[in-house]
Chain A
Amino acid sequence: MPPLTALWIKDSRAMSNLRRILRQESVFKLIFILAFAMGLMGGFFVLFLDAFRFLSGLGGVSFLITRRLFSFFYLGLGGMLALSNIVTTYSTLFRSRETSFLLTAPVDIRSLVTYKYLESTLLSSWAFLFLIIPFTAAYTWHEHLGLLFAVWTAAFALPFVLLCGGIGTLLALVAVRWAPRGRLFRWLAVACLLAIAIRPLLQFRPVSLQDQASFVLNRLLPGLQAASHPMAPNQWTAEGILSLTGGEYARGAMFWLTLVGNMLLLSLAIQWLGTRTFFSAWQRVTGEGSATRRPPELLGWLEPALRFLPHDIRGMILKDIRAFLRDPLQWSQALIFFGLLAIYFGSFRTFRYDELPDIWRNLIVFLNIFSVASVICSLASRFVFPQLSLEGHSFWILGLAPTGMRRILMTKFLLAATAILLVSTTLMALATWMLQVGPGLKAISIGVAITISISVSALSTGLGAIFLDLKQPNPVAIISGFGGTMNLALSLGLMLASIIPLASSGIGTFKAESRTTPLSRGTSRPQSGFCSSP
């Protein structure tokens, strides 16, 4: 039997066992999970619907924007998918013990790479269902489209996901095989990130503001324009779905075939490259040992600095920091994360916040709080939530040690909260500085960042303990499980619940204003919003 078939049968058996395990769970838990999933999608649905309504409220430009937004959505989705699949491929292909098991079985490398490509794409893509479904539903609802629209979306989503996942897999293969290793390279990577972050600070490109509409176009359209490049897969997807929905079947079919053709071509490239490079890459991961001799203690200087802490807490903190820095799966993702942040900040200085009408300032300050808070939530879900589970098979060491579970949990929380506070307050301070926000508003923003950091760290540590999974060594799998997804959604919920009341007045006036005078000149009269301070 071809290895891929055997592996597929194995997986379907494991899936049906999973169903069996689920059946043994309490009905209440299942209902809760279902209700939760529905609620999550419902929330996104409302959010997307609101966004579409807002855009159509803008009048003439809305048609332009909405069509491009569609392509923009798939660009974002595809980008995230490709990025997350770099890391997922690394962990499922190179770090999983299954790989070394399959390598001693008569499985050829081509099948192994193909199988792991599909597995990691599935692993990193299923959470995006929570975005695609409500987005599609909201668009269908708003544009009064039929069920066929959903069918076309599904037909395009599958090859699109495989294509973007494939890009990630390909990058991971190349990186593991060829990326230089060692300290020098790591510092170089960090320096590149810094350069990306700083470059836009130096290029100051003010946008002259004739009116709100041109502001919208200037701010949004460059991004949207980039998203609708005719050679981009997200553009094929968006245009294809819209064409088919509009009855242009030939055009739609052309896009679909283009997408599928490219997806297949990419799969071939993965197989080709994988067959040639996988084994050497695997040797680099398992067979070369450490390139350099390590110091017996990493960050030895930190220990005396932490003397003021009780000995057990100090020990655990040092252990966690060292384990984090020595695990490429962890720090590489942190790097990607900060890279994205750098790009986010890069987009700041392209306009002059202080020249904006109040109404846009309100929105922007609020959006800034919202983005920093979202960053906090995703940081916590990615790094704080799996902390306890990652203790894995060595959990007994902590369990037997003369220190209580309470203290262990407290330590994890303290470490997480400190790290996240450091990141979030720096981010917020930087962002408010770049936006030239007034001191009062700045204090509020930083205060919000502090509160959300602490509460979300606490939430993630606690949920990480409740959904403890000591058998799973792969952090990606831990966070994409039910507990991880729930943690992300609950933190986002907590975050929204705490910032929306704060901002609702500001946003409310903003919406009312922009609906009534979609193309009129932005007024500078003071608003009643929370951030109307000059």
Chain B
Amino acid sequence: MIHVQALDKSYGTVHAVRNLSFDVPAGELFCFLGPNGAGKTTTIKMLTGLLRPDRGVIRIGGYDIATDPVAAKTLMGYIPDMPFLYEKLTPVEFLKFIADLYNIKEASTRRRIDDSLQSFGLGEARTSLIGDLSHGMRQRLLYIATFLHNPRVVFIDEPLIGLDPHSIRMIKDLLRQKVRDGMTILLTTHILALAEEIADRIGIISNGSLIALGHMNELRAQAGLEGRLEDIFLKLTTDEAGLSSPGGARRMTAPNI
């Protein structure tokens, strides 16, 4: 479903992603891990067509994101790390806008919107402006919006930021449910317990290169460690000297221009 081949991307002097290749088959939940500044967000931005890679090929559901962007984007949903929402719309209006954009014509759209708002605990907030919602409520709205058009591939950058325990459980169940129904999900997270719990496969990226890829068992074998993902992650990324670039986080906050 997601096909990535020999991806490369530099920002000026920063080589953010190096020669990255992997495939994610349909119906898999793939977790992308890595230290701060490793290149996770950069990769997702290239996969969603926001950034043009310097080199490499990306196919989403068979469509090349470079040559057939609109077709690829119709298939996918994206929850960025710093999402954008229209502050001056109400949740219902925003969701209807999404339905218009993705050309969802079903007569049941309105009911589906109401149902999902209800089940995500936003029933009360239907009439307030998005600008007046709390952080967690916006986050939940974003999930509804992303799943509204039944995407076949979903990219999520840091899925659980700012959510309460109820919502976290709800999102975890939702993601597993969607994957069982055949959706492909690629998410990045720093919560290793989450990755361990819900991921089918895990990829670890450090300094822009993929240093490990596979099921938990395969990662254990590669690290030569039994036990929890945390230990494996720390061992692998320290081996690759991923943390030897403490400037990573600082460079990331530099202005773009």
| Inter-subunit contact B103/A326 (CB<8 Å) | no
Please give me the residue from chain A that is nearest to B74 by CB atom.
A106
Binary A-proximity of B86-105 (CB < 8 A = 1, otherwise 0):
11111001001110111100
Q: Which of A37-80 contact B (CB under 8 A)?
A: none
| B13 touching A279, Cβ below 8 Å | no
Given the known interface contacts A17-B88, A105-B102, the answer about A10 and B97 at a Cβ–Cβ threshold of 8 Å is yes
B contact residues around A13 at 8 Å (CB) = 89, 93, 96-97
B241-257 vs A, Cβ < 8 Å mask (1 yes, 0 no): 00000000000001111
Task: With CB as the reference atom, state the residue of chain B lying closest to A109.
Answer: B69
> Chain A residues with Cβ under 8 A from B48's Cβ?
104
Q: By the criterion CB–CB under 8 Å, are A288 and B12 in contact?
A: yes
Q: Tell me if B49 counts as interface (CB < 8 A to partner A).
A: yes
Residues of chain B within 8 A (CB-CB) of A504 are none
Stretch from A1-9, A25-33, A216-224 forming part of the interface with B: A1-9
Q: How far is the CA of A289 from the CA of B131 in the complex (A)?
A: 30
B226 to chain A, nearest CB (A): 40
**Complex: how many Å from CA A86 to CA B52?**
25
Residue of A nearest to B88 (CB): A14
Stretch among A94-102, A251-259, A349-357, A409-417 lining the B interface = A94-102
| A285→B131 CA distance, assembly (Å) | 27
Assess whether A524 is interfacial by the CB under 8 Å rule: no
Chain A: interface secondary structure? helix
- The A/B interface has a contact count, at CB < 8 Å, of 103
B143 at the interface (CB under 8 A from A): no
Q: Are A286 and B100 in contact, CB atoms less than 8 angstroms apart?
A: no
Chain A residues near B52 (CB-CB < 8 A): 279-280, 283, 287
Which of A14, A97, A108 is most buried by chain B, counting CB atoms within 10 A of its CB? Answer: A14
Given contacts A101-B84, A283-B52, contact A10 B93 (CB under 8 A): yes
Chain A proximity of B49: nearest CB distance (Å): 7
Of A225-233, A290-298, A305-313, the one contacting chain B is A290-298
Size category of the binding interface on chain B: 35 or more
Q: How far is the CB of B74 from chain A (nearest CB, A)?
A: 4
Interface residues of A in 437-491 (CB under 8 A from B): 471
Contact A104 B11 (CB under 8 A): no
Q: Flag whether B201 is at the interface (Cβ < 8 A).
A: no
Contact status A17-B51, CB under 8 Å: no
Whether A289 lies near B51 (C-beta < 8 A) is no
Asked whether, in the complex, the Cβ of A100 is within 8 Å of the Cβ of B50, the reply is yes
Interface 0/1 of B193-231, CB less than 8 Å to A: 000000000000000000000000000000000000000
Given A106-B73, A280-B52, A326-B255, 11 additional A-B pairs, CB 8 A: A14-B86, A14-B93, A101-B83, A104-B48, A104-B76, A105-B98, A283-B51, A288-B11, A290-B255, A292-B12, A326-B257
A-B contact pairs, 22 of them (CB 8 A): A3-B101, A6-B101, A7-B101, A10-B97, A13-B97, A17-B88, A98-B86, A104-B48, A104-B76, A104-B80, A105-B73, A105-B102, A106-B70, A106-B71, A106-B74, A287-B51, A288-B12, A289-B13, A290-B12, A290-B255, A290-B256, A292-B12
Q: Which 4 A-B pairs have the closest CB atoms?
A: A289-B11, A6-B100, A289-B12, A97-B84
B residues at A contact (CB < 8 Å) = 9-14, 48-52, 70-71, 73-74, 76, 78, 80, 83-84, 86-90, 93, 96-98, 100-103, 129, 131, 254-257
Show the binding face of A for B, using Cβ within 8 Å: 1, 3, 5-7, 9-10, 13-14, 17-18, 21, 97-98, 100-101, 103-108, 181, 279-280, 283, 285-294, 326-328, 471
